[in-house]
Amino acid sequence: MSPSDTNRVTPDTLLAMKKAGEKIVSLTAYDAAFACLLEAAGVEILLVGDSLGMVLQGHDSTRPVSLEHMIYHAACVARASQRALRVVDMPWHSYDSPEIALASARRLVEEGGAQLVKLEGGGAVLEQVRRLSAAGIGVCGHLGLLPQSVESPDGYRVQGRDPEDAAAIRADALALQEAGASLLVLECVPAALGAEVSRALRIPVIGIGAGVDCDGQVLVLHDLLGVSPGRRPRFVQDFLAGRGSVEEAIRAYVRDVKDGRFPGPEQSY
């Protein structure tokens, strides 16, 4: 039986959680089976991430992921999702202009079942955010480390360490909020900056390598399970190690985020 609309997670639900100081839990999902498992464990946001290019397709970056790939995986998740908010990445070059962004986002919503679309960047994408918001399409911003901008493996570095870069991230975060974004992902920045941005914004801030004081946390599912290829980032914890099942690992992650135990100092900058 499908749950009632009152049981569904919406942007308003997340706003209420932020105001109440309740941590928001997010994980990536790329298929129906894991969408069900994550929802059952209490995950509030299913992020259909273009990280699938690396963990599913075997690429060394997210750039080869196409709009069609994102629509396919988003639709797989949407068919199974009953409660969580579905956020879908807009892939590289799918939002190069406001017009392209609107056409791409409409496909992600209409064909992929996206409830919010996520795009990377600050000032360069403000017009895109305004256009999508005006069209009634929910937007999630993404600041800090921007994977679509990384051209080589050594480009994955902590952002916002010096005062000028930190100030630019804070300014971009506020500008995205004012342009209409209802959610922000903040990736790979010092924990102090993550806390500062989270306090400054009305909208929820979901951290990944941004410290425990963000309003919520997200990880790539394959990183959480310890099965991602290549070097594991500092902000990742293998929750499957020492546990008996994938379900137990996911529930442990949910508990640790809710209780403020993850990320710890060892997963922070």
Write out the catalytic residue numbers: 187
CA angle 62, 83, 80 (to 5 degrees): 65
**Can you tell me the distance from the alpha carbon of 2 to that of 4, in angstroms, rounded to the nearest whole number?**
7
Instruction: Return the HEC string of the chain.
Output: CCCCHHHCCCHHHHHHHHHHCCCEEEEECCCHHHHHHHHHHCCCEEEECCCHHHHCCCCCCCCCCCHHHHHHHHHHHHHHCCCCEEEEECCCCCCCCHHHHHHHHHHHHHCCCCCEEECCECHHHHHHHHHHHHCCCEEEEEEECCHHHCCCHHHCCCCCCCHHHHHHHHHHHHHHHHHCCCEEEEECCCHHHHHHHHHHCCCCEEEECCCCCCCEEEECHHHHCCCCCCCCCCCCCCCCCCCCCHHHHHHHHHHHHHCCCCCCHHHCC
**Can you tell me the distance from the alpha carbon of 65 to that of 108, in angstroms, rounded to the nearest whole number?**
14
**Can you tell me the distance from the alpha carbon of 210 to that of 192, in angstroms, rounded to the nearest whole number?**
8
Calculate the CA 237 to chain-centre distance. Answer: 17
